[in-house]
């Protein structure tokens, strides 16, 4: 379901659009899994971040939207949490702000890209900072 920026999905209030924020419509994090293979903008609050070593593709940083796992509790986590995440691989992380996990944590973000599945969870792989908008 595409939702106009600033509108509610009915379950919870979604973030309002601000100048330079998300486009005219976005996908709520809970609906991201219905858009596999599509390029969309997914918006929500980044509640936590995690360096995921179980991916088999290096050690990407996960920006976890709308739910917290707690990095201390997630030590040794073998599967992704049941939340939408934006994934940033180490080779791409160099173009993001220093310590971007903590910089983005607690902020409303919009991630734009193709929704993929990683360990049976919907994600958008962000290869460039242009795919992440803060304050959306």
Please write the tens of the pLDDT for every residue from 91-132: 999 999 988 988 999 999 999 999 999 888 899 999 999 999
Predicted confidence (pLDDT) per residue in 82-100, tens digit = 779 999 999 999 999 988 9
The pLDDT of residue 15: 34
Report the run of H or E that residue 115 belongs to, with start and end.
strand 108-118
Is residue 13's pLDDT more than 60? Answer: no
The mean pLDDT value for 51-60 works out to: 66
Q: Which residues are within 8 A (CB) of 89 and not within 5 positions of it... i.e. 6 or more apart?
A: 57, 58, 60, 125, 127
Vertex 104: Cα angle to 81 and 124 (nearest 5): 50
Residue 50: is its pLDDT beyond 60? yes
The answer to whether 17 and 6 are in contact (CB under 8 A) is yes
Q: What is the pLDDT of residue 118?
A: 86
- The model carries a pTM of 0.75
Segment (H or E) for 86: strand 85-88
User: What is the predicted pLDDT for the residue at 128?
Assistant: 96
Q: Which pLDDT score, from 0 to 100, does residue 126 have?
A: 97
Query: Whose CA is closest to 93, among 59, 55, 45?
Result: 59
CATH of domain 2-134: 2.40.50.140
- Hey, where are the domains in the chain? 2-134
Where residue 20 falls among pLDDT bands split at 50, 70, 90?
very low
Least confident of 21-25, 72-76, 112-116, 125-129: 72-76
Bridge partners, residue 132, by sequence: 111
């Amino acid at each position: 379901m595409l939702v106009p920026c600033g509108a509610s999905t009915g379950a919870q209030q979604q973030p309002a659009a601000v100048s330079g924020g998300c486009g005219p419509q976005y996908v709520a994090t809970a609906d991201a899994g219905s858009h596999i293979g599509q390029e969309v903008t997914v918006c929500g609050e980044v509640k936590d971040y995690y360096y995921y070593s179980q991916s088999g593709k290096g050690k990407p940083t996960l920006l976890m939207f709308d739910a917290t796992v707690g990095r201390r509790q997630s030590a040794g986590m073998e599967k992704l949490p049941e939340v939408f995440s934006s994934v940033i691989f180490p080779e791409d992380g160099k173009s993001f702000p220093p310590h971007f996990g903590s910089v983005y944590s607690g902020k409303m973000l919009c991630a734009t890209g193709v929704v993929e599945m990683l360990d049976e969870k919907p994600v958008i792989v962000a290869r460039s900072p242009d795919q992440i908008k803060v304050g959306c």
